[in-house]
Amino acid sequence: MSEIKTVITYGTFDLFHVGHVRLLKRLSELGDKLIVGISSDEFNAVKGKKSFFSYEERAEIVESCKYVTQVFPEHNWQQKQDDIVKYQANIFAMGDDWEGKFDELNDICEVVYLSRTQDISTTDIKNALAKVDNDELDRIESSLHDVIEIVKSLSLR
């Protein structure tokens, strides 16, 4: 009988998108179970992050993904080693933007860094949404300016 291989990963998973889905799929293919630590709102604050969705909402979204076996809250940087032991994880995996940052965990499990999905990130989505808002405001302001100019020209007649 072979041992069940458990993969553990962590993330904020805000504004869940296709990059998240593809990463979770690839992570799930590394083992039999995928356990995901979701950064709590309090931990995000420590990291200087503010999520659009609350921890509870992000956890519900990630847990609904067919590639994910279980989710749990991540409260601090130090809990990873305890979580690996608690969940009997064989593989700790993160995106390659974290490459080398968790190599010390190699003494208790295999550490794997996977490449991220090209051309998509939560940060890029947030920046694009912020730009849309500003562009829309600029368009409205420009339209209002045009209306004011038309009204002025009509009143001069």
The catalytic residue positions are 47, 49
| Residue 54 near residue 96, CB atoms below 8 Å | no
Q: How far apart (Å, rounded) are the C-alpha atoms in residues 77 and 51?
A: 18
Tell me whether residue 79 is exposed, middle or buried, using C-beta atoms within 10 angstroms of its C-beta: 0 to 12, 13 to 18, 19 or more. middle
DSSP states along 106-123: GGTSEEEEEPPPTT--HH
Tell me whether residue 121 is exposed, middle or buried, using C-beta atoms within 10 angstroms of its C-beta: 0 to 12, 13 to 18, 19 or more. middle
Q: How far apart (Å, rounded) are the C-alpha atoms in residues 1 and 78?
A: 34
